[in-house]
Amino acid sequence: MNDANRVDVRIRRAERGDAAALADLMTQLGYPTRASEMEMRMEDISADKNYATFVAVDEGKVCGMIGTFTRYSYEHNNPSGRILALVVSEKMRGRGVGHALIMAAEADFAQRNVRRVAVNARFERTQAHAFYEGLGYTKNGFRLVKELAAPTD
């Protein structure tokens, strides 16, 4: 990242009025989402204290988001954290926004006594792999996914 392109963004917790911007970011990430869908998702997510959603704001507009989850596990004594979503608007990429969001999430994790953070990135997102590795994340396995059929009446 070229420091000349770096922007100073404000990081804050997501608010109800951010749903349209969050839907646009999810769509840019490859998950087409309507604002009404994001409103429903955020209502449930916001009600659960284990989730945290932060947005990056530049010149009054949301230009990035990070969503995290804190959980206990069978394997470790302290809670673990997971980055569930990180996306920066296409025109703001490469300007330090993602880094600022990661730093905010890691600070929040530290306040929650989280000492281990995991993130998943699709195989084809090699730039994301390099980004996370540049921030000290290491590959230690891979994820297997199975889609289950919806229950029938």
* pLDDT at 2 exceeding the cut of 80: no
Distance CA 33, CA 67 (A): 16
CA distances from 4 to 1, 8, 34, 48, 128 (A): 9, 11, 34, 39, 21
> Between 3.40.630.30, 3.40.47.10, 2.60.40.10, 3.40.30.10, what CATH number should domain 10-127 receive?
3.40.630.30
Summarised one tens digit per residue, pLDDT across range 29-38 is 999 999 999 9
Q: Give residues with Cβ within 8 angstroms of 106, minimum separation 6.
A: 117
Q: Compute the C-alpha angle 2/20/96, nearest 5°.
A: 10
Q: What are the phi and psi torsion angles at 65 (to 5°)?
A: -150, 155
Distance CA 13, CA 55 (A): 6
Mean pLDDT of the chain: 93
In which band, very low, low, confident or very high, does the pLDDT at 8 lie, cut at 50, 70 and 90?
confident
- The ranges assigned to domains in the chain are 10-127
Q: Considering only CA atoms, which of 73, 70, 72, 68 is closest in space to residue 83?
A: 68
In which band, very low, low, confident or very high, does the pLDDT at 60 lie, cut at 50, 70 and 90?
very high
Q: Which two tokens stand for residue 4?
A: 């000349």
Summarised one tens digit per residue, pLDDT across range 133-149 is 999 999 988 788 899 99
Summarised one tens digit per residue, pLDDT across range 101-137 is 999 999 999 999 999 999 988 888 889 899 999 999 9
Q: pTM value? A: 0.90
Q: Which two tokens stand for residue 45?
A: 């997510």
